[in-house]
A and B are shown apart, each in its own frame.
Chain A
C-alpha cells in the first residue's frame, strides 16, 4: 500500500467510510468531494476529521471553485476516484426531464471532474483517474436502466479519453462493481452469482491502490470487473 493523495468524488456515504478506513492505514491524504445537499449525511457519520468539500456536481463553476479551494489548501491530487451512483429513478415512472438532469449530474458531472483534475495532473506530470461503475450496466434490467445506461456512458468516456490522457502520463481506467454492501445488485442478478457472499470492500480498495500505482502505467482505458464471477462472458 502506497501513500498518495486521493480526491474521491462520491455521493455514496458507505463508500466514504470504507475508503477512509482502508486508506488511512497508508497515511494517504484523502479528500472527499460530495454534493452540497448530502453534507449533513456525510458529516453525520464517523467521518469527521477527514477533508470534505461540497459542490454542485451540475455546475462547472462550483466544481472549479471547490478544486481551487482544495489546491489552495496545500493539497495536490495523485488520483481521482469518481463514484457517483445515488439514483432512485425508475424507468417506468421517470420523468424524462429528471432523466436528463441525472445525466447532467452523473455523466457530465464525472466528465467535469475528469476535465478539471486532469489539468492539475498535467502540471504535476502524472496522475490516475478511476471511474467506478456497476457491473449490471452490461447486464441491465429495465427498472434501473436510468442509472445503468449512465454507467455505460462513463465506461465509453473512460476509454475515449484514456488515449488522450496517457499522452500526459495520466492513466484513466474503470472498475465495475458486483455485489458490495454499498452497491447492491438486484435480486435477479444475485441469482446468477457463482458465490453467495458479497464482495469484501478491502478487495476493492486494494484494486484501487493497484490501479493508482504509478508503476502500473501500461493499463490504459481498461475496465476491471470485481464482481465475484457475475460476468462470465467474453
Chain B
C-alpha cells in the first residue's frame, strides 16, 4: 500500500485520545503533518508526550468544535503553520448513552446536535474552502455504531450519527467531481473506555454483573473481543491514502462483524 503522506496536512478533531490519538500516530509515522485538536489542554499535553514533543510535524490546538470562532481559529493556525489542509478527520464529541425517550433532557440533546453534527459541519465547511482551491482533499467522518444500530438508550447519539451518514453521502455526491472524497468509518465496540458506560447500563437493565454484560455483548461480536483504536486508525489512514482514490460516499464498518445486516 502507498501510505506515504509526505507534505500532506491532516487535521484530526478529537485527536488527543482514543481513536483520534491512534490516528495521529499513524499519520505521523507516514510522514504527514498533523494538527490535532481537543477541548482539554491537559489531554492535548499528554498526547504531545505520547506523539513526541520535539516532532515538528505535529501541532496541537485547543478547540471546541461547538463554536464557530474556535473552528475558524483551528484552521487559521493550521494554515499559518503548515500552509494547507489535505485531509480532515472529523472525530469528536462522543455522545452519551442512557436516557429513554421520556428521560431525554432537551437542552443536552440539542447541545449534542450542536457539538457533533454541526461541529462536523463547521469543520467540513472550512476544510472544503481550501480543498476546492487545490481540487483535492479527503474528509473522513467517524460516525459511531448508533448510526447504524438504533437503540432505545442511544436516542441522542443514534439519530445524530445517522444524520452524519446522510451528510457524508450528500457531500460525496456534490464534491466528488471537484476531487474531494468524503467517506465514513463506523467503529463498533472499541477499547477506548467509552464503552464502559454502555456496559454499565446494560448490566443495570438486565440486572447482571458488569462482566456478564460484557460477555453477553461480546457474544454478539463474531471476533469475540473489543477492537483497538489502532485498528480503526488503519482504516482511516487507508481511506485518506492514494490507494483509496475511487472510494467516496462509502461507509466502512470496523466492528469485528457486529452488524450483520445488508
The answer to whether B155 touches A103, judged by C-beta atoms less than 8 angstroms apart, is no
Is B16 an interface residue, CB under 8 A from the partner?
Answer: no
Cβ of A115 and Cβ of B101 under 8 Å apart? Answer: yes
Q: Does A29 contact B (CB under 8 A)?
A: no
**In the complex, which residues of chain A have a beta carbon less than 8 angstroms from the beta carbon of B162?**
152-153, 155-156
Asked if A160 meets B158 with Cβ closer than 8 Å, knowing A148-B170, A152-B163, the reply is yes
By size class, the interface of chain B is: 35 or more
Asked if B166 contacts A156 (CB within 8 A), the reply is: no
Is there contact, CB below 8 Å, between B155 and A160?
yes
**Interfacial chain B residues near A164, Cβ < 8 Å:** 100-101, 152
Closest to B153 in A: A160
Whether A145 contacts B100 in the complex (CB less than 8 A), given A96-B118, A153-B160, comes out as: no
Whether the Cβ atoms of B170 and A141 lie closer than 8 Å is: yes
Instruction: Kindly provide the distance from the CB of B139 to the nearest chain A CB, expressed in whole angstroms.
Output: 13
A145 touches B110 (CB 8 A): no
* A142 touching B68 in the complex, CB below 8 Å, given contacts A111-B101, A149-B117, A161-B152: no
- Bound-state Cα–Cα, A107 to B158, Å: 12
CA–CA, A163 to B149, complex, Å? 13
B147 contacts partner chain A, Cβ-Cβ < 8 Å: yes
A114 lies within 8 A of chain B by Cβ: yes
Does B151 make an interface contact (CB < 8 A)?
yes
- CA–CA, A190 and B26, complex, Å: 44
**Chain B nearest Cβ from A165, distance in angstroms:** 9
> Main SS of chain B's interface residues?
helix
B155-176 vs A, Cβ < 8 Å mask (1 yes, 0 no): 1001111111111011101100
**CA of A234 to CA of B155 in the docked complex: distance in angstroms?**
25
Complex interface bits, A93-129 against B, C-beta within 8 A gives 1, otherwise 0: 0001001100110011001001100110000000000
Tell me the nearest residue of chain A to B169, going by C-beta. A140
Query: Looking at chain A, what size class is its interface with the partner chain?
Result: 35 or more
Residue among B110, B163, B164 having the largest count of chain A Cβ atoms under 10 Å: B163
Least Cβ–Cβ distance between B158 and chain A, in angstroms: 5
Specify the main secondary structure of chain A where it touches its partner: helix
- Whether A142 contacts B155 in the complex (CB less than 8 A), given A150-B163, A153-B162, A159-B150, comes out as no
In the assembled complex, the CB of B212 is this many whole angstroms from the nearest CB of chain A, namely: 21
Cβ–Cβ contact B101 & A114, under 8 A = yes
In whole Å, how far is B129's beta carbon from the nearest beta carbon of chain A?
12
**Complex interface: chain A residues within 8 A of B68 (CB):** 96
Q: Which of B102, B161, B163 contacts A115 (CB 8 A)?
A: B102
User: Contacts of B100 on A, CB cut-off 8 Å?
Assistant: 164
List B contacts of A158 (CB < 8 A). 150
Flag if A108 contacts B109 (CB, 8 Å). Answer: yes
Partner of A96, one of B121, B154, B159: B121
Is there contact, CB below 8 Å, between A118 and B262? no
Q: Which positions in A face B, CB cutoff 8 Å?
A: 60, 91, 96, 99-100, 103-104, 107-108, 111, 114-115, 118-119, 137-142, 145, 148-161, 163-164, 221, 234
Known: A111-B155, A139-B169. 7 other contacts (CB 8 A): A100-B110, A103-B113, A107-B159, A145-B170, A148-B166, A157-B150, A160-B152
Q: List 7 A-B contacts (CB under 8 A).
A: A91-B170, A108-B110, A137-B166, A155-B162, A157-B155, A157-B158, A160-B154
The 4 A-B residue pairs whose C-beta atoms are closest, nearest first, are A153-B159, A160-B150, A149-B163, A159-B150
